[in-house]
Structure 1
Amino acid sequence: MSLVESTSASEGPPPQDAWHAEFQRLLPLWESLRDSSKVIIPISISRVNQFDAARLDVEMSAMLKEQLVKVFSLMKPGLLFQYEPELDAFLEFLIWRFSIWVDKPTPGNALMNLRYRDERVVPIIGKEVRTGLEGPGLSVSQKIFYCISFVGGQYIWSRLQSFSAFRRWGDLEQRPLARRAWGLVQNAEGLYQAASFFNLLLFLYGGRYKTIVERILKARLVYGSPNMNRAVSFEYMNRQLVWNEFSEMLLLLLPLLNSSSVKKFLLPFSKDKSAGSFGDEADCPICRSSPSIPFIALPCQHRYCYYCLHTRCSATSSYRCPRCNEVVVAIQRQGSV
């Protein structure tokens, strides 16, 4: 006991600013614990879903276009073809007006459980972050610029290409100004294709912004609901594609096959090889009618029409009798020697 009292007496009282030094030492730890909620939750959006959504939007536009073309089917042929860029722009504007402008996903995005989010103002503070999918939709300026660049840009580019092709800007006989404009159009197209390819590589690596317009606008596709899978199943579509390819292959190969050769090949495997399987012995086995001028095949002695047997034997030197599958070496009129 005397040893403890001597030790405490030798240390003495703590300095007056000891509490302040301890507070400064523990303050960073307290700040880190208090701000632990300010953590960005990383999310990963399926690249396949985003590509499928874009493809479904294209298919939806094509279906609307097909239905609209049927309305003008009774008009002058070729009249609607002149205004095809305007028709495409009108349909794309309708899809934009009733989806993106009213803060709703496009048909393809809705089927893939996707929506657009303004990546510039994503909330990352406190209780607002639960799944990492929170965030406001596109702003008014983003929506308008999306319409101008996506709808108006495609329309202007298609009209410019058709006008330059009609005016033949690329011909050597044209004026230097027209050839220079044609060169600018080709350079702009090549630059856009290169930028799209570079953006595709970035998208495959990071999974954000599948188009250049989305990257410029900072409009990212995220899941609309964290507990909902995509609404499109490609199982039946894959089956349909397999059967379509198989039927196309059969349509390609069947005309190349000789029906008589196939019958000859399958005849040895048939269960009933008797002559009765081919009908009455008095009828011609080729035309299935009674021969007016009967001829017999040698050496099997079966009756044929002269025309049927003569044409078959003239077409091939190894014609086989359909009744007995024996090679016909000669023909003879019935009753003659």
Structure 2
Amino acid sequence: MTDFAAAQQRILARRAARTAQLAAETSLLQNTRTAQLVRLPPALRVVAHQTLNLWDTVKSPYGTSPAFRVGQVDAELLDEELLNLLTNQAGEGLKLFGAHLKEEWGDEIGLLLRGILWKLAIWDHGASYGASLQGLKYIDARGDGSTTIQRGPSAWQKITYGLLTVGGRYGWSKWTDYLSNAENSYDVEPSPMLLRLSRLTTLAGTTHEVAAFASFLVFLYNGRYRTLADRILRLRLVPGSNQTNRQVSFEYLNRQLVWHAFTEFLLFLLPLVGIGRWKRWVARAWKKAKAGIARLRKGQEAIRSEDDEDMEKVGELAFLPERTCAICYEDQNPAAAGGEQAAIAATAGANTGIVGNASTDITNPYSANPCGCIYCFVCLAQRIEAEEGEGWTCLRCGELVKQCKPWDGDVLVAEDEGRKRVGGSSRAVSEGSRPGSRRGVVWADELVEREEEEEEGLGRKMSIVEPMPVEDEDEGYQEGG
């Protein structure tokens, strides 16, 4: 610690010596220049003196004395981000009392938050939170620069800074909103005075933007005053200590660039590799490994006896009724793969269920080949195509499905002279059928109901009724005539 303190003292002594030497050289140059320009008229002498001083400042490597341009800009950005975070949090909290409060009192919320930040940062510590994170602080730059002692901002500078950055923003925002509402009002025509004030406000805003842009360009050149308010009040951001690092760390930026490049490369590579195929391969390998472990535990004979007792394979969603598409049900109920009990527990109290939901009924039925289980055509075709020829495991029976075909069960064919009905229990073929008939799909229970209705209709025969006698009006007219 003693050596470090001695090193800091030597650094300060060298800086003071360098500053004194530059001040001596500047004083000598000024005296020489004054002697050279003494013959000129007073007005021209002042203009020439200021022009030569500006030229010396431009060409001198120490004239601008840049102090953390990047750090100062980052400090301003950090302050704005902090204000946005606080504003969003305040808006989320006010939603509990009413959704309209954030929109109606947004300016007042910003005024309150800026006032609190100004009091806790600028007034108490002489630096904003963003400047403190960058290791910077405000100093009073109204001196001539001959002394090396850095004075903090005075009370009136802090108060004026708060009035400009806090009260000034709030007043300007409310004034522009008032003018905009008055000009765009449909009830009252804007008066000439209001239009004149609007033009003056627009001119003032444009002038401020141009002045702020010019001030920022000058800041990029000499690095002294970051904003227009800092330039007016002569407040500078300087390092708070001699240990402040002037080098900008790009470690975080490099990590972000590497991560974004890696994710973009994965997004480009995964479709080419076919991650779904590898996933299915790993799932099948895991099932085979589990089956092998089960054989080792129970023995081959126990496994064979179980296979003899239950030769039929059972899928994950074998408990679903026939009219429900297992693929649609699985997409709407991810927890259904755990079995019937898990599906009942997951869908309890919800709109989706095991039986009788329109969103899971089969539309345009197609049967899987070779098991014959029925699914929606779009669902089944997409699953088979996604497997890329390796086969898809049926959710009902557990068979490996590689093809599908139109469902040929419970089809009703209507023809001109007869009909051909193909059902689960009966089949009637009419004579004189033609190939150009229409086909419709019905369920087995609906077909049974139709058969019962037809049998009842055939059982009731129509009775023959004698025609009632009707008098001939023409004959009666002739007899009367």
- The partner residue of 2:374 within 285, 293, 306 is 306
Partner letter of residue 305 of structure 1?
C
Match of 2:197 in 1: 181
2:164 equivalent to 1:149 = yes
Change (3 A) 1:275 1:291: farther
8 Å CA contact retained: 2:69, 2:220: yes
CA distance in 2, matches of 1:71, 1:80: 9
Tell me the distance in 2 between the aligned counterparts of 1:58 and 1:274.
53
What is the correspondence of 1:119-268 to structure 2 with a 5 Å cutoff? 119-121=141-143, 123-124=145-146, 129=148, 134-169=149-184, 174-229=190-245, 235=251, 263=276, 266=278
1: CA distance, partners of 2:91 / 2:111: 14
Unaligned 5+ segments in structure 1 are 1-34
| Structure 1 CA distance for aligned equivalents of residues 165 and 367 of structure 2 | 78
Residue 67 of structure 2 aligns to a residue whose secondary structure is coil
Q: What does residue range 272-311 of structure 1 map to in structure 2 within 5 Å?
A: 282-283=312-313, 288-289=317-318, 297=369, 301=370, 303-307=371-375, 310-311=377-378
The 3-state SS of whatever aligns with 1:100 is: helix
Of 96, 99, 109, which residue of structure 2 is paired with 1:87? 109
| 2:130 counterpart of 1:108 | yes
| Aligned AA (1:38) | A
Helix, strand or coil at the partner of 1:116? strand
Aligned-residue offset at 1:159:
0.5
> Distance between the aligned counterparts of 1:202 and 1:244, measured in 2?
35
The Cα offsets for residues 3-54 of structure 1, whole Å up to 9 and x where unpaired, read as xxxxxxxxxxxxxxxxxxxxxxxxxxxxxxxx74736876431211111111
- Structure-2 separation of matches of 1:246 and 1:177: 61
How far the C-alpha of 1:64 sits from its partner, in A, is 3.7
Deviation at 1:117, TM superposition (A): 1.4
Q: Tell me the amino acid that sits aligned with residue 161 of structure 1.
A: T
**Alpha-carbon contact 1:121-1:136 (below 8 Å) kept:** no
CA, structure 1 residues 317+184, in 2 after alignment: closer, same or farther (shift >3 Å)?
Answer: same
Query: What's the TM-score once normalised by structure 2's chain length?
Result: 0.46
SS of residue matched to 1:75: coil
- Structure 1: which amino acid aligns with 2:215? N
Q: Distance in 1 between matches of 2:249 and 2:182?
A: 47
Q: Does 1:38 align with 2:38?
A: no
Higher relative contact order (CA 8 A, sep 6+): 1
What is the SS of the residue equivalent to 2:137?
Answer: strand
Shift of residue 237 of structure 1? 8.0
2:287 & 2:111 partners in 1: Cα distance? Answer: 70
Instruction: After TM superposition, give the deviation of residue 244 of structure 1 in Å.
Output: 9.2
Which is greater in Rg? 2
**Structure 1 residues 55 and 276: CA distance shift in structure 2, 3 A:** same
Say which of 98, 123, 135 aligns to 2:120: 98
CA distance in 1, matches of 2:262, 2:320: 42
What code does the residue aligned with 1:114 have?
L
Deviations along 1:67-118, whole A, 9 cap, x unmatched?
5446544424323533322222222222222332345221111111111112
Partner Cα distance (1:274, 1:114) in 2? 59
The 8 Å contact of residues 367 and 405 in structure 2, kept in 1 or not, is answered as: no
Q: Kindly, what percent of the aligned residue pairs are identical?
A: 29
Q: Structure 2: where are the runs of 5+ without partners?
A: 1-19, 27-61, 292-306, 323-365, 394-398, 410-423, 425-481
CA separation of 1:37 and 1:243: change in aligned 2, threshold 3 A:
closer
Change (3 A) 1:332 1:213: closer
Counterpart CA distance in 2 for 1:275 and 1:150 is 67
Match of 2:78 in 1: 56
Query: What SS does the corresponding residue of 2:153 show, helix, strand or coil?
Result: coil
Say if 1:68 and 1:241 are closer, same or farther in 2 by CA, change over 3 A.
farther
- The answer to whether the 8 A contact 2:95-2:101 is kept is no
1:326 is displaced (CA, Å) by: 8.0
SS of residue paired to 2:121? coil
2:201 partner SS? helix
Given the superposition, is the C-alpha separation of residues 199 and 224 from structure 1 closer, same or farther in structure 2, using an over 3 Å criterion?
A: same
Give the whole-Å Cα distance in 1 for the aligned partners of 2:145 and 2:125: 18
The one-letter code of the counterpart of 1:214 is D
Between 313-322 and 158-167, report the one with greater CA deviation. 313-322
